[in-house]
Amino acid sequence: SGVAKTIKRYNETGTHEDRPRKGRPRVTTASQDEFIRVTSLRNRKLTAAQIRDQLNATQSSTSRPISRTTVRRRLHKSGLYDQISARKALLRRGNKQKRFVWAEKHKKLTFDQWSDEYQFEILGSNRCYFVRRRKGEWMDSTCLVPTVKHGGGGAVMVWRCFAGETVGDLFKIEGTLNQHGYYSILQRHASPSGLDDHLFFHQDNDPKHTSRLCKGYLTKKESDGVLHQMTWPKPNQNCLG
């Protein structure tokens, strides 16, 4: 019985715990496990198959090849899982520092009124990329896919603003939006949506936003006491996407 076996084991070994079993030997050594981990950390976009190929290339011809499944297990044991990469604007070091200073200054900011344009991809040019990352590394710079303002085709661009829980107009942008088009949006859509209500007006430092024409319009509104403009640059806080 199970009780008899437990008593016998205790009399023979002095403990009721199972004795260690040999089992199947590990395919990889500790140094190979470290190679897999470090290789993935150096390039988060490498797949398990690519790491496997690099590892096997370092082994002698008589060594047993390492499989992709084994590499994936070692990666998972190190906390590195295959996940969809977050996207972030491609920035220089100076711009990152400016955005950090801006965020520190306005970290208690309330949603008074925000506006921006956003491009919604239709045909799949906004494809997903997979990276290996650990818990808490979602916005780690090594795990991001950099983006630029002008991507592929197959998209619809819109402008919208919102203030707190209230949303303003949704305007579809045809073609390329320039300073004159944005000036028209400010007059016809931003103001009717609640711009003239003693609010802080937030926008990024896109060239058309900071053009003399549009800045003059907003500065006039500010001098009339109907709004306040935010200082720039600001971090990526496009809430439309």
Where are the domains positioned within the chain? 2-78, 89-229
Alpha helices in 14-151 (DSSP H): 30-42, 48-57, 68-77, 93-105
Which tokens hold the place of 72? 């994936």
User: 51: phi > 0 → left, psi -120 to 50 → alpha, else beta; which?
Assistant: alpha
Dist. CA 238–CA 115, nearest whole Å: 8
Dist. CA 53–CA 67, nearest whole Å: 9
Rounded to the nearest 5°, which phi and psi values hold at 142?
Answer: -75, -10
Q: What is the mean pLDDT of residues 235-239?
A: 52
pTM of the model: 0.50
Who has greater pLDDT, 84 or 148?
A: 84
Helix (H, G, I), strand (E, B) or coil at 112: coil
Dist. CA 226–CA 91, nearest whole Å: 34
What's the CATH code, domain 89-229? Answer: 3.30.420.10
pLDDT of residue 33: 96
CB-based contacts of 67: which residues, under 8 Å, 6+ apart?
Answer: 27, 52
Q: Dump pLDDT digits (tens) for 73-105.
A: 999 999 999 988 887 777 788 888 888 887 787
In angstroms, the Cα distances linking 56 to 25, 48, 50, 59 are 18, 12, 10, 5
pLDDT of residue 123: 46
Which tokens hold the place of 161? 């603003």
pLDDT of residue 124: 47
Other residues' Cβ atoms within 10 Å of the Cβ of residue 219: 13
Q: Is the pLDDT of residue 122 over 80?
A: no
Dist. CA 126–CA 139, nearest whole Å: 18
pLDDT of residue 120: 65
Rounded to the nearest 5°, which phi and psi values hold at 140?
Answer: -65, 135
Q: Is the pLDDT of residue 205 over 70?
A: yes
Q: Dump pLDDT digits (tens) for 164-190.
A: 677 788 888 888 899 999 999 988 887
- DSSP letters spanning 137-204: -TT-GGGEEEE-SS--SSEEEEEEEEETTEEEEEEEEPS---HHHHHHHIIIIIIIIIITTTEEEB--
Which tokens hold the place of 208? 């058309």
Q: Is the pLDDT of residue 241 over 80?
A: no
CB-based contacts of 87: which residues, under 8 Å, 6+ apart?
Answer: 144, 145, 146, 147
Q: Is the pLDDT of residue 38 over 80?
A: yes
User: Pairing state of beta strands 155-163 and 166-173?
Assistant: antiparallel
Who has greater pLDDT, 98 or 66?
A: 66
Other residues' Cβ atoms within 10 Å of the Cβ of residue 193: 21
Q: Is the pLDDT of residue 152 over 80?
A: no
pLDDT of residue 78: 95
